[in-house]
Structure 1
């Protein structure tokens, strides 16, 4: 994937803020190709699509922030000044100058620009398979805009074209509702033109498009539409819950029946600390892992994104998902005896817990600096998430179908253990049960902050959260300045 980006797609990498590919990869000028003379063969379109997929690998920021901003985890790390932006988000003191938020903003727009480049040139050539390429590109644009709107609210909306430097200053932030309308349009097109399955590992499918569409509806409180869309995935899709939750997040389990949308990684060398967008591996795994670790099963890492005791205590007694989601390091040390387990504590904080879904394991190490080269995939949408979103949509729609909601909820609970008691509640009690289930089932997967925000619970659950402000993050001040478009900063920042 990176080899193509170095050679053929130089012009695609420019983002809304005139970021060039030079910011992220080393360009080999002798292989560069004039963007206006590209798309001369079907393979050019497929390579451009690969370039559009490439920005998915920056999803580690989405996961980190979705956990750290909530009550699920603390920032951790070497010190409070190491990735200072994460600590600011953890403490709800973040503002417009924040490296992590700026990176997320830039990465998502770089991905959008690569998609728009494809659509800008969609009529240059007719060939079999072009509709599939455009459908996948539509999904990717929807995904990138969904990340932007859920983080920042109103954002500039650019579709089917790249911007010249002179055009940037005329781009306004449009209401979030308009961004969601484009997301819905793109996902409907993708769903209409993609199959339920694909022979190419890592490519998106009809199920991924419909699931993200159902999620977008849920984030807008369009419960009827969300329920109808997610019901289709459940009834017609090829998905089922994995029978072995304990291995669900291992490399050997990738592509199982529960996989709706994964971001693919490989454990080969690529990139470095100065270029996280260049990496072939999932950087979150190395950064989550146990600092200074010596012992069996695991490998050492950087102790970021550490689960809280509050999350640990949310699990019901004997819920078998707890040890899968959270590693209690002191309990593990005791159980490892007589083997000695050693670790160190970073100055950025310590809870005694680690995100066990995404930890480095000795039998899953990537090449060279394995902090950066984990082959573990990022599970973005699992079938369990689809079931729980559908349960919530049915429960919260104007004419609730609590029986269907409870059926979906209990399907998730009872796949992990027949001893998990069924939920027989209705109304708001059922809503609370669904919220609980989402928190424990999806613990460590980066969705909890946004669940709290969209359901109005954040102000009661997150220390320092200010209603009317922290529902969205600030637009990076450097992007406001670079655009010169008179954007008004989000309220309170």
Structure 2
């Protein structure tokens, strides 16, 4: 309770004595306004409302960089893209892409606070279930508890990947009595695993509402947690079950949508490919229901977010684009030669939009032109990408625009929201896990604990969808580029060969979706891969990335925010090595 305070304390005391009250102050205590107490929240409606707020934190709206999209933490750090735009716009991201993290950076604080806000909301749900009123059935408790613990596991998973071990707080801890003294010396994995297991064992196979996690979504996430711990046999067992029985919220079996590009289209939200996604809706009366994750990440000037609007962030890298080069059999150049000589994809870097430019004529994986906007290729249903006119600052960003999660011209005003400062808010869900991701993680698990042939089958399933001519980008009736993609027809001779193929497939299939950096760290290849990327990309974008370097045994994790250490003491909250 808060107490009313008055500067005129003596006058207040005199008045109190005149009307005969005792010297006790209890009468000055009044309920806080605009706040619900636990009694009001412990009904079924109240608990469900709090649970919705736990889901609501997935996009980190109040803490932009806490979103599970991880476009900065997973994609920019992983080499899928650079910050883009101008050096001075959102300059707090500059040290992140250069691996020059600072303990006082606002974006790092956002990541910490936003995920702990999710933890706190999940803990409140669990606490309320312990005092739930009679209208909350045992079946309700089981389902709601499964959802809340899944979400808490997710937020701790994000903290674990971001900062390594952080303080663990659950619903049994009183936020007002010493919780600030919780250290970060305990390993988080057992707690994350326990939450995900509980969710898997207690959630229904299907849910009544889109967006709610079900048994099979929890199984996929638990398997992912196993993968990070190299528990490949346990992960494989779950993937086997998901492949056999996994069902989406509406009861359909998980599957790839027929066309690669449709996995990122608002009209296909909650498709059979969507295992777990951040939900979004446009034109509901509040822009807060729309997807805010990519409001900065649009072509500049006259592009889909124009005219004159925002902001040319998240520019796909030269290295990523080159990675889509294929050989005569339509397979990727796994030897790394895609960054060498004629294999480099021709770009319009330094060429104005009113100057002549002929796009690359070499063989390319067709997923490139669904993932990256490049000059001369149709940008969804808008126009051919004009090149420099859509890039705010080519010298800082390079020549490419992000394309996944862009809205279609046909969706303007319906699946895109015009009610805020920018038209960049959409109804496009952001997939935290989609079925292609599951297939490729399952392929990894098969390599380590199962069958190389099964891994090849799963990988070819992903590639086969990408190879369908009906999904190629067209100019009129002709392919927009020389698309050549094939399957792995020959058995892999060794685990090393299989690993190389599957890991590269994740790079191509999941580019720009926030996975790459975390994949490199869990594979133990981050220092080698990222420093090679920085060396190559730094020659192209010397101002943004020249001289940047990844330091092993340091840059795998962010520093703990200094403000958090200052609050509790460096003997309680132990800073990560190197900071």
Mapped contact 2:373–2:385 kept (Cα < 8 A):
no
Q: Report what 1:83 is aligned to.
A: 90
Corresponding residue for 2:461?
A: 411
Equivalent-residue separation in structure 1 for 2:384 and 2:149 (angstroms): 52
> Taking structure 1 as reference, are residues 483 and 371 closer, same or farther at Cα in structure 2, changes over 3 Å only?
farther
Deviation at 1:368?
A: 1.7
Secondary structure, counterpart of 2:181 in structure 1: coil
Q: Conserved in 2, the CA contact under 8 Å of 1:259 and 1:381?
A: yes
Tell me what 1:71 maps to.
Answer: 79
- 1:229-268 equivalences under 5 Å are 229-237=238-246, 238-268=253-283
Deviation, structure 1 residue 346: 3.7
DSSP 3-state at the match of 2:92: helix
1:281 maps onto 2:290 in alignment:
yes
2:118 maps to what in 1?
111
Deviation at 1:269, TM superposition (A): 7.5
The 5 Å alignment of 1:80-479 reads: 80-125=87-132, 126=134, 127-128=136-137, 129-161=140-172, 163-175=174-186, 178-237=187-246, 238-268=253-283, 279-294=288-303, 300-315=309-324, 316=326, 317-332=363-378, 336=383, 342-346=389-393, 349-362=396-409, 363=411, 364-369=415-420, 370-371=422-423, 373-397=425-449, 400-417=450-467, 420-422=486-488, 424-425=491-492, 426-462=494-530, 463=534, 464-479=549-564
CA deviation vs aligned residue, 1:282-319 (integer Å, no higher than 9, x gap): 22332110111247999953111111011011113342
Q: Distance in 2 between matches of 1:404 and 1:61?
A: 29
CA–CA distance in 1 between the matches of 2:120 and 2:570?
18
Does structure 1 retain, via aligned residues, the 8 Å contact 2:53–2:121?
A: yes
Separation in 1 of the partners of 2:69 and 2:171?
26
Number of matched residues? 453
| Distance (Å, rounded) in 2 between the aligned partners of 1:288 and 1:208 | 28
CA contact (8 A) 1:293 1:301 kept: no
Q: What displacement does 1:347 show? A: 7.8
Structure 1 position 473, deviation (Å): 0.9
DSSP 3-state at the match of 2:115: helix
Structure 2: unaligned runs, 5 residues or longer: 1-31, 61-66, 247-252, 327-362, 469-484, 535-548
CA contact (8 A) 1:156 1:171 kept: yes
CA distance in 2: counterparts of 1:299 and 1:131, whole angstroms: 51
2:575 pairs with 1:489: yes
Question: Deviations for 1:201-257, whole angstroms, at most 9, x for unmatched residues?
Answer: 211111210111111111111111111112211121120111111222110111111
Extract unaligned runs of 5+ from structure 1. 1-28, 273-278
Change over 3 Å in CA distance of 1:349–1:361 after alignment to 2: farther
Say if 1:340 and 1:492 are closer, same or farther in 2 by CA, change over 3 A. Answer: closer
Aligned residues of 2:265 and 2:407 also touching (Cα < 8 A): no
Higher helix share: 1
- Map Cα deviations across residues 10-50 of structure 1 (whole Å, 9 max, x no partner): xxxxxxxxxxxxxxxxxxx744222x433342111111111
CA shift for structure 1 position 381: 0.5
Instruction: State the partner residue of 1:5.
Output: none
> Who wins on radius of gyration, i.e. which is larger?
2
Post-superposition offset of 1:345:
1.4
Q: Give TM-score, length-normalised by structure 1.
A: 0.85
Question: How far, CA to CA, are the matches of 1:298 and 1:408 in structure 2?
Answer: 43
